[in-house]
Structure 1
Amino acid sequence: MRKFLLFMAGACSATVMAKAPTQIELDTLAQQLSVSYELLSAKPDVCPAPHQAQCYLSRLTLSAPYDVKSNSWSVYFSQLMPIYSTDSAQFSITHINGDLHQIKPTAAFTGFKANTPISIEFYTQESQITRSEFMPNYMLASSGLKSRVIDSTKTTLDPNTKLELQPYLAPFLTLEQLQTSKDDATVWMGAEYLYQNETKPTLSKAPLSVIPKPADLTVLTGDVVDLSQGLNLQLDDTNQAQLSAAITRLTSFGIKQHSQGIATTINFDLPGNVPEAYTLSMQHDQIAISASSLSGVFYALQSIAGLVSLENLTIPALKITDAPRYPFRGMHIDVARNFRSKAFILNTIEQMAAYKLNKLHLHLADDEGWRLAIKDLPELTEVGATRCLDLTEQACLLPQLGAGLNKGAAVNGYYNQADYIEILKYAQAHFIEVIPSLDMPGHSRAAIIAMEARFNSLTAQGKSAQALKYRLVEPADKTNYNSIQHYNDNTLNVCLDSTYQFIDKVLDEVNALHVQAGVPFKTYHIGADETAGAWVDSPSCKALKQQQPELHSFNGYFIEKVSSLVAGKGLKVAGWSDGMSDVALKNMPKTVQSNAWATLSEEGHQVAHRHANQGWDVVLSSPDVTYFDFPYQSHPQEPGNHWASRAIDSKKVFGFMPDNLPAHAEIWQSVKSQNYSADDRQSIRTKEFHGLQGHLWSELLRSDRQAEYMLYPRLLALAERAWHKAPWELEYKTQGVKYDQNTGHFKTALKQQKEADWQRFAALVGFKELAKLEQAGRFYRIPSVAARAIDNNVDAFIPYPGLTIEYQNSDGQWLKYKADSKPVSAQQVRAISVNGLREGRALEL
């Protein structure tokens, strides 16, 4: 680590100290130094070279309550988009790697005078626009002392909403801080905007339905079914044990399994071509379930749980006939960038199963973390699962993404072997397949750094051959590259034999965990996305190219080779569509899954169609609608990323038409709120898609609570579209069509059907499902209130009926909003959680 000395005055004296600081003095400055970050403009009039086309202008302001005179201290901080120009004589800012930057006083720095701020203006490349993209936990460093996080850069929790606050970040007040560029038409989704653009709930109670909607639900004659009597499931012990997760959920709602309950018969007499299909007939004295497998029975029991509310366990006699739209209905959880606890994963599995999702794509390794213990390779988790301020990275990774200094923080960690086995068994009990992913060859920095630590340790012990066995980089490779996340060292070398020895070892150890759990290892997701321009000056790659002059792409070579390795172990190969597009089809296994993630507003349908037509199993992963790390609404206080969409609320997810990707050009806009067109005439799809997957990337999510906020209730809308094809969805036209805002295929009748279907869904969420999420302890997002002053009173509503709305009067008091006695005026409006213990985000009028 570079050496820095800090000399500062005592808290009560302006006298400059002549000696090096003590730990107490460093701690005091970390506690009292004020750091304030202000985004001045996302579209300044002039951008310095070499990024004249796009830049951001920001300001950091530092101040201390007492004199500090030294130019020998340093601050490290995370800044997602690299700072490339600094307008300050007193400070320099250096981009180190990834998002890590260093502030260092120059020789012109004359010191801090008590309570006298010093500002640093700077320009960053590309775009960084949402508040949650401005990272916390700036670190103060000094040679020979323990570094400390600067207190003023720590986050806090709002006591009412329980949402994260960023005291170090100045308020966002203008469109200059919301729009990414001069052609960005993103709107500020305040209360009046929501009032003009959202629709009021029309239902005053929950309809007789289920999320996800069944293929058919018919009301039968006869007495109502009182489920408070419980169920008498007529199953043998083995089948009952395998259905225990659904039985446990029913019990939590007050529907117990006992011998005096309603006789519930189960028959495995449906055709086996759709194993998850079921029929459910419910009479007051008998319930009958028919299926072809236990998974069908499991989903029938989940439908019973979906029919009731927590307040009312009585339903009419009815019959449901149901089957899923897609065999693959997934949720991708990134635990690599910021770690998610085992409890979070188990809780998520419960909710996925409740709404009939069946694939958990577990993203276990990336640049910022390796999260699974691998036998014989302890460095992967000892080094690769933690972040701290060690620039040599022999003890941990660099503290990217505002990770701070604490190795024990929630953003760090990993699953030991027992944890992973428990996750596998829990998922199996909920009829969910776990698909592990350890992203390679890009996004592999955690593995690379960990294996370099292993190499250094074994080399020091004189074990050279052992040290080289799993090394992932070539020292003689002098290629300069920059990844999408601004790393210059995150891509493993695809031309080394040791790379494939490492992958083979890891796969064998993951498989051993599945064997130990008694859960088949079926699919492995190799990643293969966003590989930077690596290997250009690699001697090994130059030699490989000479040996194989027909080699078309080093990334394609890697994917083909690893795919062969994976398939040779009896596993299905999966990968992200951009990397999978680099391969020669003849060199790939017969069965391949491609996650199509190109944005729809940029002809994203084309790669999805092409891969489906190749005979691959295409899982739709369109970031415009399935990336749940993006904000629900374009408002400064809504957390989330921004590059593919500025607003993905549950209604947008609900309105997705996955079988007809280009048709969204009629009803959606681009990330900059511009109309776009999608021409399908040269990319006609001839084969069906395999499934749909939601995604929860974790760069900006530093806690399980934040992750749940982003996940719920959007997960319910995802499940709706993955299981049920709505009649209002535009059918795909096999002759090829060009769509835009004026083509008019989505006619008024379809719009009306869609709105009526949304009202059904919204009422189910508001009157039933949010309470169930709350009972399970899930931190769902409370909806924002749409409101407007009309005719001397305030009209207000929220998309989900059943929740309480409050308004703030001119005295600052919060009062219950009543539609039949509307207030004359209001300062702010907000909604309240089902149990009344938590407030939603307040909007000003």
Structure 2
Amino acid sequence: MNKVILSVITGLLLLTHSAQSATQTELNRLAESLQVNYQLVDANPVNCPAPHEKQCYLSALTFTSSTDIDPQQWHIYFSQLMPVYKVDSKWFDIEHINGDLHRISAKQAFKDMPANTTFAVQFYSQESQITRSEFLPNFVLAAPGLDSKVIASTKTSVDNETQLELQPYLQPFTTDAQLQVSDDDETPWMGANYLYDSYTKPTFKTAPLGLIPSPIKLEQLSSSRIDLSKGINVVAKKSHYIALMPALERLAKLGVPQSKEGIVINVSQQLTSQLPDAYELTLRHNAITINANNTRGAFYALQSLAALISLDDLTLPELKVTDGARYEYRGMHIDVARNFRSKAFILNTIEQMAAYKLNKLHLHLADDEGWRLQIAGLPELTSVGANRCFDLTEQTCLLPQLGAGINANSGINGYFSRADYIEILQHAKKHFVEVIPSFDMPGHSRAAVVAMEARFNHFMALNKPALAKQYRLTEPEDTTAYSSIQHYKDNTLNVCLDTTYDFIDKILDEVITLHKEAGVPLNTYHIGADETAGAWLQSPSCIALQQKTKIHSFNGYFIERIAKLVADKGLNVAGWSDGLSDVNVNNMPSNVYSYAWATLSDEGHKVAHNHINNGWKVVVTSPDVTYFDFPYQSHPQERGNHWASRAIDSKKVFSFMPDNLPAHAQIWRSVKHQTYVADDSQSARTADAYGIQGHLWSELLRSDQQAEYMMYPRLFALAERAWHKAEWELDYKNEGAIYSHKTQQFTLAMQQQKEQDWQHFAALVGFKELAKLEQAGRFYRIPTVAAKKTDSGIDAFVPYPNIAVEYQDKLGNWHRYDSHNKPLQAVKVRAKSINNERAGRALKLTN
């Protein structure tokens, strides 16, 4: 039996005697009435206790009951992203169980908890945890023999005006001590005043002529207007017409339907161009012509036509667009493993990706917290591995993690059935999006490990040991103690067992079969291969294998063996760059995709360049700009992780120069908002990157709506950089160079050109694209307002034009802001959605 589970069960048994008087009614009542309050005291306390004295954070929990209770009768389980290692309390102990799961227990001498009396526990945790979204909800009240319940005061709610999540259990964050994680952390609190001093006002008063992503060339042919209100009449071969239908359907939703009375669109595929997906789109008052180098190019030409349209004006000038893609690979990574995303979310995301010419959906289907694809013959992967609930034996579900609570039917749980996955594949194919599946291995594999242990126990109970051991992923005799990056003690496949490779071979064959049934052949498989933390050291199988073959790296051995397995099935091999750095390059297949994710301020360019020089196709995935699970701004109320960047707004994504990674040292800062140096003098690359990919990891995203908030409008800027190379981007120096804030290679003229391009892009977002997102039902982020008190009154703006701003007076009433009649005083400022039905996050004004 798992050592962690045994420890938990033992702890519960110790309380059995004292808990015998507890009833289900009492537990239910206490779960409804107990008040829990969480406070981040200090993200950078003066004296961190050993062994984490270099960095820790100090928090406090308080408990108040409306009735007298015996604290010995109860346990409280809660998710804490960073493990608690030192507790300061006369009343409570806290034990780290596994992953982020912790247990709060009353000390043995704490026998009586009088009504309306508050009891506290302070504790130190490893590293840092500083955005409010990192303090997870749904504390679970449990007692032996009773059904556990979520404590009502730890549930989240939704703000009626913003529709954003509220955390009533979490005390306000008000000081820099709750924002900065070390003495050298210079992260700013991005309030209204900071934004005012840092951001630039929009310059466009009306929608400019243009589209997102930008084309290579757009020529206005005349001032005559083309009226599209009667629709369009596409003339093309039947097979081509069918392939263009998703784009035509989008145009119809925007008010330009397919109609015999509409303006004729002639489609041909005679264009010769070396650029991927190239096309020419010519709009004349009597006809529109599309000439492309393939069907995708024609599809994207229609998407460009949709991009040129404003919803309030279906007329366009006569013009010609010449275009083609910058990169072959233009991707978006969606993590459905940590917290599940619905099929509808995936289908909607595919449509938005296609609208902005993104063409690769990297679908992260398995991780520690969930296995999300039905696999024929292995029902435990989804019956156990797709759900988190409160079963500490883990025979029916996984341990609760990431604030999951106890409801196995909640939205964070679930999986794609075979039919669901086939539907996703076919929908993606229609939109010219390739699905790249990934089941992260050998680390990040706890869902698979637990599911296969449940399978083992099932067949052993049936006295079928051969079947039980067929796909077992761990070795009971392995006594290795390790902790993964997410603090799991048992999340890694044993890479020295043949059954591990039998399991992966089974998974691959079943996924290949699903793709064949969908009529969408599998081309590329992403094996994961990242963040494997010190496993296998005491594994008898690994010790024997090492003695036999002298393996240089067990992780490298695993990747090389799986890469061959994948390649032998006719597939391209893909993996994260850190794992691929462990391999012997000579042992790898010819077609390898490396996803380079080292942070730029930590010499991330070297990893990307080394892998390019290996002859691999490198997809740029730098987390300090492409990870959309990080906050838009460094403010506690902005959702997201914080380890690689404290602020990734759309302008930062827009400013990315993926062809010249080290050059960002001249214009950006590190995660602690410090300047840094990027030395590329010894690691110059020999070829270009293959593409770029955005990422939506889901640890802190418990709903589709939260996921959309993080993705939009940043996806626009990602598409811009993936499709179009701007004139202001700094050319890469193949001889190598050193960059810092002191170098002047990114000239003033280039900075001015970038700002002009940004203003044009921002105007297209504000006047056109946000309305289209709204029409499609997508929950985009409404920008926060930059504001400051000036001599002429409150000056306020948002980065995108055409968005209404409001200010709050001292009585709490909101008023529409008018820059021509500025208020003299204001307490808060906020923006509104395009349709004025939803408010953005409000910011306080300071003097």
Q: In which range does the TM-score fall when normalised by the shorter chain?
A: over 0.9
**Alignment match, 1:13:** none
8 Å Cα contact 1:324/1:723 also seen in 2: yes
Is there any run of 5+ residues in structure 2 with no aligned partner, and where? 1-8
Matches within 5 A, 1:500-519: 500-519=501-520
CA displacement 1:487-528 (0-9 Å, x = unmatched)? 010000001000000000000000111000001100000000
What SS does the corresponding residue of 2:30 show, helix, strand or coil? helix
Partner SS state of residue 223, structure 1: strand
The answer to whether residue 538 in structure 2 is matched with residue 537 in structure 1 is yes
The whole-number CA distance in structure 1 between the counterparts of 2:599 and 2:483 is 22
User: Is 1:256 aligned to residue 236 of structure 2?
Assistant: no
Which residue is equivalent to 1:11? none
Distance 1:110 1:20 in 2: 14
Alignment match, 1:321? 322
Q: How many Å separate the matches in 1 of 2:38 and 2:777?
A: 35
Q: Kindly indicate whether residue 800 of structure 2 is the aligned counterpart of residue 819 of structure 1.
A: no
The equivalences for 1:261-280 within 5 A come to 261-271=262-272, 273-280=274-281
Distance in 2 between residues matched to 1:713 and 1:572, nearest whole Å: 31
Question: What does residue 624 of structure 1 align with?
Answer: 624
The whole-number CA distance in structure 1 between the counterparts of 2:776 and 2:143 is 46
Q: Which amino acid aligns with 2:262?
A: G
2:381 aligned with 1:389, yes or no? no
- Give the SS at the match of 1:229: coil
Give the conservation status (yes or no) of the 8 Å contact 1:4–1:141. no
Contact 2:187 2:634 in 1 (8 A): yes
Which residue type is aligned with residue 651 of structure 2?
Answer: K
1:844 matched to 2:844: yes
Equivalent-residue separation in structure 2 for 1:70 and 1:245 (angstroms) = 60
SS in structure 2 opposite 1:280?
strand
Residue 7 (structure 1) shift: 11
1:419-434 superposed matches below 5 A: 419-434=420-435
Moved over 3 A (4+): 1-8, 272-275
Deviation at 1:226, TM superposition (A): 1.1
| Separation (CA, whole Å) in 2 of partners of 1:283 and 1:771 | 26
| Pairwise CA distance, 1:394 | 0.6
Q: How far apart in 1 are the matches of 2:446 and 2:768? A: 44
| Contact 1:7 1:69 survives alignment (8 Å) | no
Residue 734 of structure 1 corresponds to 734
2:229 is paired with a residue whose SS is helix
| Residue 226 (1) aligns with residue 230 (2) | no
Identity %: 64
Distance change (3 Å), C-alpha of 1:688 and 1:843: same
The answer to whether the Cα contact below 8 Å between 1:766 and 1:801 also exists between their aligned partners in 2 is: yes
Write the distance in 2 (CA, Å) between the matches of 1:470 and 1:736.
49
Aligned match of 2:169 = 168
Q: Distance in 1 between matches of 2:819 and 2:390?
A: 55
Letter in 1 for 2:704: D
Deviation of 1:735 (Å): 1.4
Letter in 1 for 2:396: A
Write out per-residue CA displacement over residues 264-287 of structure 1, whole angstroms, 9 at most, x where no aligned residue. Answer: 111110126444110001101111
Contact 1:4/1:72 (8 A) holds in 2: no
Question: What TM-score, normalized to structure 2?
Answer: 0.98
Q: CA deviation at 1:6?
A: 12
> SS of the residue aligned with 2:453?
helix
| Paired amino acid for 2:419 | A
The corresponding residue for 2:210 is 209
Which residue of structure 1 aligns with residue 183 of structure 2?
Answer: 182
Residue 750 in structure 1 maps to residue 758 in structure 2: no
Question: How far off is 1:566 after superposition?
Answer: 0.3
How far is 1:831 from its partner?
0.3
Aligned residue for 1:594, secondary structure, equals strand
Distance in 1 between residues matched to 2:318 and 2:109, nearest whole Å: 82
Q: Give the Cα–Cα distance (whole angstroms) in 2 for the partners of residues 317 and 792 of structure 1.
A: 44
Counterpart code for 2:818: K
Measured in 2, the distance between the counterparts of 1:247 and 1:622 equals 35
Q: Secondary structure at the match of 1:71?
A: helix
On the 8 A contact 1:7/1:20 being kept in 2, the answer is no
Shift of 1:237: 2.7
Alignment RMSD: 1.3
How many residues in Structure 1 have an aligned counterpart in Structure 2? Answer: 836
CA contact (8 A) 1:365 1:438 kept: yes
Deviations 1:658-714 (A, max 9, x none): 000000000000000010000000000110100000000000000000000000000
Counterpart contact for 2:19–2:72, Cα < 8 Å: no
Q: Distance in 1 between matches of 2:227 and 2:617?
A: 43
Q: Which amino acid aligns with 1:378?
A: P
Q: Which amino acid aligns with 2:674?
A: Q
Give distance in 2, aligned partners of 1:272 and 1:452. 54
Q: CA deviation at 1:23?
A: 1.2
> Is 2:792–2:822's contact at 8 Å kept on the other side of the alignment?
no
Distance 2:101 2:11 in 1: 17
Distance 1:482 1:211 in 2: 44
How far is the alpha carbon of 1:19 from its aligned partner? 6.1
Residue 654 of structure 1: CA displacement? 0.2
Aligned to 2:353: 352
CA shift at 1:70, angstroms?
3.9
| Mapping of residues 346-745 of structure 1, within 5 Å | 346-549=347-550, 551-745=551-745
User: Partners of 2:371 and 2:631 in 1: how far apart?
Assistant: 27
Does structure 2 retain, via aligned residues, the 8 Å contact 1:7–1:68?
no
Q: What SS does structure 2 have at the residue aligned with 1:762?
A: helix
Q: Which shows bigger deviation, 678-687 or 49-58?
A: 49-58
Per mean C-alpha deviation after superposition, the further-off stretch among 799-808 and 217-226 is 217-226
SS in 2 for 1:344: helix
Equivalent residue letter for 1:58 = S
Q: CA separation in 2, counterparts of 1:634 and 1:275?
A: 37
Residues in 2 aligned to 1:584 and 1:637: alpha-carbon distance in whole angstroms: 45
Alignment partners' CA distance in 2, 1:99 and 1:222: 62
**Distance (Å, rounded) in 2 between the aligned partners of 1:512 and 1:591:** 22
- State the Cα distance separating 1:5 from its structure 2 match: 8.9
Tell me if structure 2 keeps the 8 A contact 1:6–1:142: no
Distance in structure 2 (CA, Å) of the matches to 1:337 and 1:126: 21
Deviations 1:618-644 (Å, cap 9, x if unpaired)?
A: 000000000000000011111110000
Secondary structure in structure 2 of the residue aligned to 1:224 = strand
Contact 2:230–2:259 (8 Å) recurs in 1: no
Distance of 1:5 and 1:452 partners within structure 2:
23
Task: Tell me the SS of whatever aligns to 2:555.
Answer: helix
Mapped partners of 2:494, 2:561: distance in 1: 13
**Partner amino acid for 1:357?**
L
- Asked if the contact 1:5/1:142 (under 8 Å) is kept, the reply is no
AA aligned to 1:533 is G
With normalisation by structure 1, the TM-score equals 0.98
The structural deviation recorded for 1:2 is 4.8
- Asked if the contact 1:5/1:72 (under 8 Å) is kept, the reply is no
Contact 1:620 1:692 in 2 (8 A): yes
- The CA distance in 1 between the partners of 2:399 and 2:200, in whole Å, is 47
**Which amino acid in 2 is paired with 1:736?**
G
Could you give the per-residue CA deviations for residues 36-62 of structure 1, whole angstroms, max 9, x where no partner exists?
A: 110111111111111111111111000
Q: Counterpart of 2:197?
A: 196
Q: Post-superposition shift, 1:777? A: 0.2
Deviation at 1:258, TM superposition (A): 1.7
Per the alignment, residue 5 of structure 2 pairs with none
Q: 1-side partners of 2:274 and 2:208: how far apart?
A: 31
Cα-to-partner distance string for 1:146-171 (whole Å, 9 max, x where unaligned): 00000000000011100001111100
Report the CA distance shift for 1:70/1:639 in structure 2 as closer, same or farther (over 3 A).
Answer: closer
Contact residue 7 and residue 70 of structure 1 kept, 8 A: no
Deviation at 1:534, TM superposition (A): 0.5
Q: Which consecutive unaligned segments of at least 5 residues does structure 1 have?
A: 9-16
SS of 1:543's partner is helix
| Deviation larger for 97-106 or 257-266 | 257-266
For residues 5 and 554 of structure 1, do their structure 2 counterparts lie closer, same or farther at Cα, with a shift above 3 Å needed? closer
CA distance in 1, matches of 2:668, 2:179: 19
2:222 match: secondary structure: coil
Deviations 1:746-767 (A, max 9, x none): 1110010000000000000000
Indicate whether 1:132 and 2:133 are aligned: yes
Cα distance, 1:224 vs structure 2: 1.6
Alpha-carbon deviations, 1:399-451, whole Å to 9, x = none? 01000000000000000000000000000010000000000000000000000
Aligned position for 1:298: 299
